[in-house]
Chains A and B, each alone.
Chain A
Amino acid sequence: MRLTAEKLTIRRGTTMVLADVSLAFDKAQSVALIGPNGAGKSTLLKTLAALETPDSGHVRLGDRDVAAIAPAERTREIGFLPQHFEPHWDFTVGDLVRIGAARHSNLAPTAIGKAMATYELANLQERRWSTLSGGERARVLLAMVLVADPPVLLADEPAAALDIRHRLDVTEALAARGRERLSIVVVHDLDLAFRSFDRVILLDRGAVVADAPPQKLIDDPRLDAVFGVRFERLGTGDGTALRAKR
């Protein structure tokens, strides 16, 4: 199903957090959302997930307004990976993944074991959240949300806390997932954003500045303007790498 945003606007006091954002996403697509801090990436993602209500505008899944879909049904359609996750109780890894799986009533019985294996959690089943490292926590979060793999995935920097190997694995897996289902991912690591995704959306001060395939956007001077740096574009064997300078 197509996901569309129509003229989303959110104000907080006098600042525009989202200013008239309209976007359309295909059923299968891998999209990176980039932009400096405070550009509105997280707010846009939450609004797409119907976790935040826009002051004006609509988000539609197919031809239905996401706000009008019952939460229990919406969670089967849209998965959301938050930037910060801290459960209030000291659940075990197994508890958390099972809680994630329970939101889908007719999940294959093998799904939990598969998610545990995919995110290398099989040996951590009985471990409590408080004893996990940052990287283990990020993997648990991924397993919780992706154990019931929804058609639409909205992910807010799920790999930020991971070491380089896991960050590469997770980000590339989310991008690859976009070949079959829609993945919209907030990515801080610009090289990963340009290298792994099919479409890059550049946000600044609540507005879409550019929305293009990565190979086109990477040479765009607006990239330098928005991030407030000068990027050196370095040719490498398989594309262009960015090096930021003042």
Chain B
Amino acid sequence: MKIWLGLGVLLLAAIVLAAAAGNMWASPADLWLALTGDDSLRSRLLFEWRLPRVLAAALVGALLGLGGTIFQGVFRNPLAEPYLLGSAGGAALGATVALLVPLLMPQAVLLPVLAFAGAWAATLLVLGISRVAGAVDAAGLLLAGVAVAAILGALRSFLMLALSDETVSLQVVMSWVLGGIQTPTWRTLDLLAAITLLCVGLTSLLARRLDLLGLGETMAKSFGLHVTRFVALAVLAGSIVVAAAVAFGGLVAFVGLAAPHIARWLVGPLHRPLLPASALVGAIIVTLADAIARAALPPAEIPLGLVTAVAGGPFFIVLLARRLRA
């Protein structure tokens, strides 16, 4: 209980800090004015631009934490991560196609659909490769993921080069690839919040079976889990979560890796508490990282993906070293 309260307070503090941070720092009094409907330009800028961006960052972080936990659970691998498994890369390729290739459909529909299709296909491909290569062990899975991610990245770069005269969309794609929260309207934010809550709710239905899978395939089977069917279902769920995160936040590295680990230290490995805890930890991380991205080098903005990679990369290396030594 104390841990949940702590995480909630921490998230709230992170949101307040992030809302204050930026090219122009705002005081708590400014924030209060903006929230209570003050009509000055400064208040309106805070309310229409900064606040939605901060909340979007928190929600994208929650999705990344959730996605990372599901993939680590499915692959029974603490090094699994949407970004390393190729699922985020698949989603980004789908998004690139939606943005750059002229297709006969409105982008608003095409983008999430293709992002999801890309995430799903890439994850299934990685799962398939590591299964053909033998058991789903840590090294095989990571190598398959790295290979698939490299191929997807190359395809994406090729699309960007081949269609480079469409300069405006190209910039959007670039910000996607480097990771960056798009500032949403309040209505879009409502949608993102609804998606996130739905994802938290739906994935909690997987919790007990993720625990069973964590006992190993033989035990999971003998304890009544239909392993192949459940893995397919969980990969599908994870892909939806990752596609939503990528659609709103681009390729943000290592949050999906770090959030479940930190959450596991706090609440243990049972998935019922782990899934929401990872979502909270992910939200805190991305809220703070996005604040750094906006405020560290004013007036320029550092791409969010660079901030999380610089912070999360060493985290991954430490985990990898510990895993290889064990």
Which residues from chain A sit less than 8 Å from chain B, CB to CB?
Answer: 46, 49, 51, 71-76, 78-80, 82, 85-92, 95-96, 99-100, 102-103
Residue of chain A at shortest CB distance from B221: A51
Residue of chain B at shortest CB distance from A100: B223
Q: Mark B67-90, 1 if CB is under 8 A from A, else 0.
A: 000000000110000000000000
Docked Cα-Cα span, A46 to B223, in Å, equals 13
A89: which B residues are within 8 A, CB to CB?
76, 214, 264, 269
Docked Cα-Cα span, A12 to B181, in Å, equals 53
Option from A71, A82, A88, A92 in Cβ contact (under 8 Å) with B224? A71
Are B215 and A71 in contact, with the CB atoms below 8 A? no
- Beyond A90-B269, A95-B270, whether A72 also contacts B216 by CB under 8 A is no
- Beyond A71-B221, A95-B268, A99-B211, whether A88 also contacts B216 by CB under 8 A is yes
Are B222 and A75 in contact, with the CB atoms below 8 A? yes
Are A75 and B223 in contact, with the CB atoms below 8 A? yes
Residue of chain A at shortest CB distance from B224: A75
For the A-B complex, the count of residue pairs with Cβ-Cβ distances under 8 Å equals 61
Interface centre among B77, B212, B222, B270, by most chain A C-beta atoms within 10 angstroms, is: B222
Docked Cα-Cα span, A37 to B45, in Å, equals 75
A154 to chain B, nearest CB (A): 9
Sample (18) of A-B pairs whose CB atoms are under 8 Å apart: A51-B218, A71-B224, A74-B224, A75-B223, A78-B222, A80-B219, A80-B222, A82-B218, A87-B215, A88-B215, A88-B216, A89-B76, A89-B264, A95-B270, A99-B211, A99-B215, A100-B223, A103-B223
Residue of chain A at shortest CB distance from B211: A99
A-B pairs with lowest CB-CB distance, top 4? A75-B224, A89-B269, A80-B222, A88-B76
B211: which A residues are within 8 A, CB to CB?
91, 95, 99
Interface centre among B218, B219, B221, B268, by most chain A C-beta atoms within 10 angstroms, is: B219
A51: which B residues are within 8 A, CB to CB?
218, 221-222
Are B76 and A72 in contact, with the CB atoms below 8 A? no
Docked Cα-Cα span, A86 to B217, in Å, equals 11
Interface centre among A75, A99, A103, by most chain B C-beta atoms within 10 angstroms, is: A99
Q: How many residues on the B side are at the interface (Cβ–Cβ under 8 A)?
A: 20
Indicate if B225 sits at the interface (CB-CB under 8 A): yes
Which residues from chain B sit less than 8 Å from chain A, CB to CB?
Answer: 76-77, 208, 211-212, 214-216, 218-219, 221-226, 264, 268-270
Residue of chain B at shortest CB distance from A85: B219
A100: which B residues are within 8 A, CB to CB?
223
Helix, strand, loop or mixed for chain A's interface? mixed
B243 to chain A, nearest CB (A): 26
A79: which B residues are within 8 A, CB to CB?
222
A124 to chain B, nearest CB (A): 15
B214: which A residues are within 8 A, CB to CB?
87-89, 91
Docked Cα-Cα span, A74 to B223, in Å, equals 8
A147 to chain B, nearest CB (A): 11
A72: which B residues are within 8 A, CB to CB?
224
Docked Cα-Cα span, A100 to B264, in Å, equals 21
Are B226 and A71 in contact, with the CB atoms below 8 A? yes
Docked Cα-Cα span, A89 to B211, in Å, equals 9
Residue of chain B at shortest CB distance from A102: B208
Docked Cα-Cα span, A60 to B264, in Å, equals 42
B215: which A residues are within 8 A, CB to CB?
85, 87-88, 96, 99
Residue of chain B at shortest CB distance from A95: B270
A82: which B residues are within 8 A, CB to CB?
218-219, 222
